[in-house]
Amino acid sequence: MSVYAETAYGRRSKDVDEARRIYQPKQSDITGKIIIFILAGLCMLLFIFIVIGFFFIAKPLTASLTSVEVRNLRYNNNTSSSSSLYFNATLAMEIRIENPNLGFFEFPTSRGEILYNGDVVGEMRINGQRVASFGDLRTEVSAEVGYRGNQKSPVWLKNDIERRLIILETRAKLRGEVHLKDLNKRTVNLKCLMQLNLSDDVIHRLWCK
């Protein structure tokens, strides 16, 4: 082989080696791309889980009283004797149930209680119904409430009668199912307070928790 051929061959070998060094990816570049692909995959999985959670996992429902009308109110304001103290009335109420889920919520007929200072003074019957997905339901219920004092009645009854203001509490649990999956059973709690104004025969204030 001539000197010229050897020189040309050596030059070609150097060019090939240099081209390989230029176009061969570095190990750090490969590692960086792998990390990017892994992070992108994790983000995609997280997005899928969020979508599944939004559409297929039941969210809490809420219930509240939107209005209360007082009918046939009677009470005794003669506070000379604790045993003569009493009040009774009929409450016509509207309950609102809100369903933020994709599936509808269905509950059977349920019962609720109305309390005065921890004592049950009335009961209400809530008919079983269905609440549409992403919707709400308004249903009307009525309850007879009444409380009569006795010789052991505490001083708060006398004070409430004198100031013509009775604070009542409403409680109910609607145990039903959100129709997405069999495991999506939910309980809706209704818990509200109301101030019954004896002088004006109206609910003076109403707020729900």
Average pLDDT of the residues in 83-92:
88
Architecture of domain 62-208: Sandwich (2.60)
3-state secondary structure the chain: CCHHHHHHHHHHHHHHHHHHHHHCCCHHHHHHHHHHHHHHHHHHHHHHHHHHHHHHCCCCCEEEEEEEEEEEEEEECCCCCHHHCEEEEEEEEEEEEEECCCCCEEECCEEEEEEECCEEEEEEEECCEEECCCEEEEEEEEEEEEEECCCCCCHHHHHHHHHCEEEEEEEEEEEEEEECECCCEEEEEEEEEEEEECCCCEEEEEEEC
Higher pLDDT, 54 or 144: 144
8-20 tens-digit pLDDT: 445 555 554 555 5
Query: In the predicted model, is pLDDT for residue 6 greater than 50?
Result: no
The mean pLDDT value for 111-135 works out to 92
Question: Considering only 116-125, 161-170, 175-184, 191-200, which range has the smallest mean pLDDT?
Answer: 175-184
State both tokens at 132. 């549409």
Statement: residue 3 has pLDDT above 50: no
Residue 7 confidence (pLDDT) above 60: no
Range 82-99 average pLDDT: 89
Q: So what's the pLDDT on residue 57?
A: 65
State pLDDT tens for residues 174-189: 988 887 654 456 677 8
